[in-house]
Amino acid sequence: MLVWTLSLLLNNRRVLKIAQEELDKYVGRERRVQDLDISNLVYLNAIVKETLRLYPAGPLGGTREFSEDSHVGGYYVPKGTWLIMNLWKLHRDPNVWPDDPSEFRPERFLSTHKSVDVKGHDFELIPFGAGRRICPGVNLALQMLHFVLASLLHAFEFSTVCDEMVDITESAGLTNMKATPLEVLIAPRLSPTLYN
């Protein structure tokens, strides 16, 4: 997820700049990011949600089996039917995400979808699944992704060779990985004493 986030930010330098400005405002340049800072980083949180929406780690949700006969969306589904949710498609549904659903726009989580949660409470965004079978690592994944991303964006300037766009082609498989490696150039943003 960190690779996808950095790839999207490098292809959207305006968003990267806003995230770093937010870090400078709430953390400053005299110290490093701490766990307590993450709750103040609203724009960074929106970036993480938008990345999870566009590139969920598992684009197909886990297999579920209907325990009783049901009606879903006007269709009869008999007991024992297996269901595999296409999270990639669900997260790009134009009925739910009407403003360019395939575009990277973290701002949607600051306005129209501000209250949407990624922990399985809001079914329009369920990158970790939902219910009793939600990913058991959701809390650790979110904590680490927010903290590592904030630390990297705060400490380093990022760019690509010749300022080229990052290829965001996805590989085939059960896990959502980039088809090509991410190659970035980094330079320190902070005082040399903070890198010890």
Residue 162 counted as an annotated binding residue: no
CB 156 within 8 A of CB 185: no
Q: How far apart are CA 185 and CA 196, in angstroms?
A: 20
Token pair of 158 as six digits: 């990022």
Return phi, psi of residue 103, to 5°: -90, 145
Q: Retrieve residue 118's tokens.
A: 């990624």
Helix (H) or strand (E) holding 71: strand 70-72
- 3-state SS assignment for residue 186: strand
Selection from 65, 69, 71 nearest residue 83 by Cα:
65
What's the CA dihedral at 22, 102, 128, 178 to 10 degrees?
Answer: -90
What tokens were used for 154?
Answer: 């705060």
The tokens describing 97, both together, are 């995400």
- Known binding-site positions for heme: 135
Annotated binding site: 135
